[in-house]
Amino acid sequence: MSRDTITLIEQSGCDQHVAPFTKPHMEGFENPDRITMTLQYLEENNALDGILKFKTPIANCEEALLVHSPYLVHSVEIMSELGSGQLGESAYASENLLSTALHALGGAMFAAELAASDSCRHSFALVRPPGHHATTSSSMGLCFFNNVAVATRKLLKDEEVKKVTILDIDDHFGNGTAEIFYDDPSVQFISIHEYNHDSFGLGHFRELGQGEAKGTNINVPLYEESPDASYQTAFTKVVKPAIESFNPDIIAVSAGYDAHFTDPIGDLNIDSRTYWFIANEIERLVSSLSMKGSFWVLEGGYNPLVLGPCVQATLDGLQKRPLPQLADQEERDDDDTILRANTNVINKIVKTVSPFL
Ligand SMILES: [Zn+2]
């Protein structure tokens, strides 16, 4: 392994936890196909050439306690022993929930450790269940343990990592991660999401963080059906300058792919070109700010047919490869009204956030 190594951490036992609902119920979309079909696609399309693969190590419950309350962790243990039960809104247990969730957590922590080391530049944990809706004390929204948050806390215990930026590109607001780090000035949390009052948390751009951490929580809400152009403008005008100003040691990405235009749950309108764009920009930031690297952890993304191309585009961007032409890249008409409305919102966010940069 060298400083330029890119790694993929593949979940062991991803087929164990299955929510007790069949498709097309929302919980049914968060299923093992998301991992198995993505891996199959990546292998068949030679997208993992040059990438080092590992299996997820399993985390332990004490590590989950770095972020979560003993009550939450104990509840996941008990419900898994019982084999069923509701832990929170849209968060249902199965007998294999605990082991699957601990593998997802172990994968995220290993990805973070690799990216922080001198022997890897970028790492990607292809794991489930997702984590970014889980708060300190509540599982919800298909999430049980907040994988990225725990991995970040673990890194910050390491004296070589003082500041972490978490960029959440899932379609939905990362309410759990926002809550966990809302008063922590060592973590900058940036979430680009569909602005939806039915979602968990609010995700408004006036939520800026608390106390010494004021200005380190940055929300970029976009309108439903927002296209690639709006998303990339949001990145260029808000996300990039914010990261440059914060100057972290490492970037964590909550890599949800449910903003894809074919996703059955998310309602944004982007495709794999934007995922390549973001990965390419993150690689440039790692280079220009002399960071240790970045680690990516799968969050949402519920069309297993496009998760493969989206992850491929991400890995290509991180490897500084040109934009790949992939089957999901369909030409779609941009709605001028949405573009204008987003430009207006993005300008307001720049004005709100600028005093803290
Ligand atoms: Zn989502």
Confidence of residue 90 (pLDDT cuts 50, 70, 90): very high
| Homologous superfamily, domain 6-356 | Histone deacetylase domain (3.40.800.20)
Give pLDDT tens digits for 110-162: 999 999 999 999 999 999 999 999 999 999 999 999 999 999 999 999 878 99
pLDDT band at residue 104, thresholds of 50, 70 and 90? very high
Residues 6+ apart with CB under 8 A from 159: none
What is the distance in A from the centroid of ligand 1 to the CA of 194? Answer: 9
Output the CA 142–ligand 1 centroid distance in Å: 9
Distance 289 CA to ligand 1 centre (A): 29
Question: Is position 204 annotated as part of the catalytic site?
Answer: no
Whole-number Å distance, alpha carbon 256 to ligand 1 midpoint, is: 6
- Check whether 203 has a pLDDT greater than 80: yes
Which tops the pLDDT comparison, 26 or 308?
308
State the pLDDT at residue 201. Answer: 79
- Using an 8 Å Cβ cutoff, are 193 and 168 in contact? yes
Predicted local distance difference test score (pLDDT) of residue 1: 86
Q: Is 188 in contact with 243 (CB distance < 8 Å)? A: yes
Give all strands of the β-sheet with 6-10 in edge-to-edge order. 52-55, 6-10, 122-126, 293-298, 250-255, 164-168, 187-194, 217-222
- Name the E strands within the chain: 6-10, 52-55, 86-88, 91-92, 122-126, 164-168, 187-194, 217-222, 250-255, 293-298
Task: Over range 319-337, report the average pLDDT.
Answer: 95
pTM metric for this prediction: 0.97
How far apart are the CA of 26 and the centre of ligand 1, in A?
11
Q: Round to whole Å and give the CA distance between 255 and 339.
A: 24
Write the pLDDT tens digit of every residue in 152-184. Answer: 999 999 878 999 999 999 999 999 999 999 999
- Residue 22 pLDDT more than 80? no
- Using a pLDDT cut of 70, give the percent of the chain over it: 99
CB 315 within 8 A of CB 41: no
Residue 10 CA to ligand 1 centre (angstroms): 20
Determine whether 351 is exposed, middle or buried from the number of CB atoms within 10 Å of its CB (0-12, 13-18, 19+).
exposed
Q: Which of 165, 189, 168 is nearest to 179 (CA)?
A: 189
CA of 166 to the centre of ligand 1 (A): 16
Determine which one of 68, 103, 133, 193 is catalytic.
133
For range 92-96, the mean pLDDT: 93
Residues 209-259 pLDDT 10s: 999 999 999 999 999 999 999 999 999 999 999 999 999 999 999 999 999
List the single range of 22-31, 262-271, 314-323 with lowest mean pLDDT: 22-31
* Cβ < 5 A residues, ion ligand 1: 170-172, 256, 258, 300
Tell how far the Cα of 53 is from the centroid of ligand 1, in angstroms: 26
| Res 23: pLDDT | 65
Q: How far is the CA of 24 from the centre of ligand 1 (A)?
A: 16
Residue 343 CA to ligand 1 centre (angstroms): 23
pLDDT at 296 exceeding the cut of 70 = yes
